[in-house]
Amino acid sequence: MSTLIVTDHHVAPAPTKAKVVQPAWVRTMHWINAVAMILMIMSGWQIYNASPLFGFSFSRSITLGGWLGGALLWHFAAMWLLMINGLAYLITGFATGRFRRKLFPITPGGVLTDLKAALTFKLAHDDLTTYNYVQRLLYAGIIAVGVVIVLSGLSIWKPVQLQYLTALFGGYDVARYVHFVCMSLICLFLIVHVALALLVPKSLRAMIIGR
């Protein structure tokens, strides 16, 4: 009996540790970001409807806030959640070396090979701790889009106080389009991301319980 416990004690931690795919901080920040993103996108659509950039509006059934004033309140509340969580994620990602380990290198050859394998359903998902090249490209790309959507948002919000940032985007009017394009890219990413997570359920499980 006691031998068994001792054995367990010595052997168990090593494989358990190796099996952790997503550490707690990644999981926590991932889901906070998911909530923040959805709030930002849905309230953003309602704000867009007040003065559409293109010849369409978003159905009110998928927007948040009820009217422009309500949507702005949600948008400028959820922005704190998005920004603080996002900043903490970037800092931790760089400081722990996770970005370097998991997302790099990204080579064109690797991306092409993995993309071909993915499209023919031959891509292996045995080892969730290593991201394939398509994943690396998408995850690094979406982090960059996340940074740009926050910066373009800030330049729309504060075109006088942060006028140098606004000028960097080509002015107030252009920044609105940049903000919209980033939103569209995030929505496209979301569709692919959720579809793939459902196709490989153990990756979803890893993002919930860690392994």
Partner 1 sequence: MLRKRRFLVPGVDKRLLVKDAVKVMPDLTRRRFITAGASLGALTLLTGCDVLDSDSADAMLARVSKFNDAVQSWMFNPNAMAPTFPESAITKPFPFNGYYDVDDAPDIDGKDWKLEVRGLVENKNSWTLDELYKLPQVNQITRHICVEGWSAIGSWTGTPLRDFLKLIGADTRAKYVWFQCADKDGYNSPLDMESALHPQTQMTFKFGNEILPRAYGFPMKIRVPTKLGFKNPKYVVSMEVTNDYKGGYWEDQGYNSFSGS
Structure tokens of 51? 């003065």
Query: What's the CA gap between 182 and 171, in Å, rounded?
Result: 16
Closest CB to partner 1 among residues 36, 138: 36
Spatial CA neighbour of 44 closest among 16, 29, 65, 14: 65
Residue type (1 letter), 66: G
Residues 172-191 that bind partner 1 (CB under 8 A): 172-173, 176
Structure tokens of 28? 């926590």
**Minimum gap (Å) between residue 24 Cβ and partner 1:** 16
Structure tokens of 89? 């994620």
Rounded to 5°, angle at Cα 108 from 104 and 114: 85
Structure tokens of 104? 């790099």
Site stretch for partner 1 (CB under 8 A), options 1-9, 31-39, 102-110, 189-197: 31-39
| 209 touches partner 1 by CB under 8 A | no
**Site size for partner 1, by CB under 8 A?**
33
| 69 touches partner 1 by CB under 8 A | yes
| 67 touches partner 1 by CB under 8 A | yes
Site stretch for partner 1 (CB under 8 A), options 81-89, 93-101, 114-122, 135-143: 81-89
**Minimum gap (Å) between residue 194 Cβ and partner 1:** 18
| 26 touches partner 1 by CB under 8 A | no
Query: What's the CA gap between 206 and 126, in Å, rounded?
Result: 13
| 87 touches partner 1 by CB under 8 A | no
Residues 138-167 that bind partner 1 (CB under 8 A): 156, 158-161, 163
| 66 touches partner 1 by CB under 8 A | yes
| 13 touches partner 1 by CB under 8 A | no
Cis peptide before 105 (omega within 30 of 0): yes
Q: How far is CA 130 from CA 84, 113, 195, in A?
A: 27, 16, 19
136, exposed or middle or buried, with CB in 10 Å at 0-12, 13-18, 19+? buried
- Which residues sit at the interface with partner 1, rule CB under 8 A? 32, 35-36, 39, 47-48, 50-51, 64, 66-70, 72-74, 76-78, 80-81, 84-85, 156, 158-161, 163, 172-173, 176
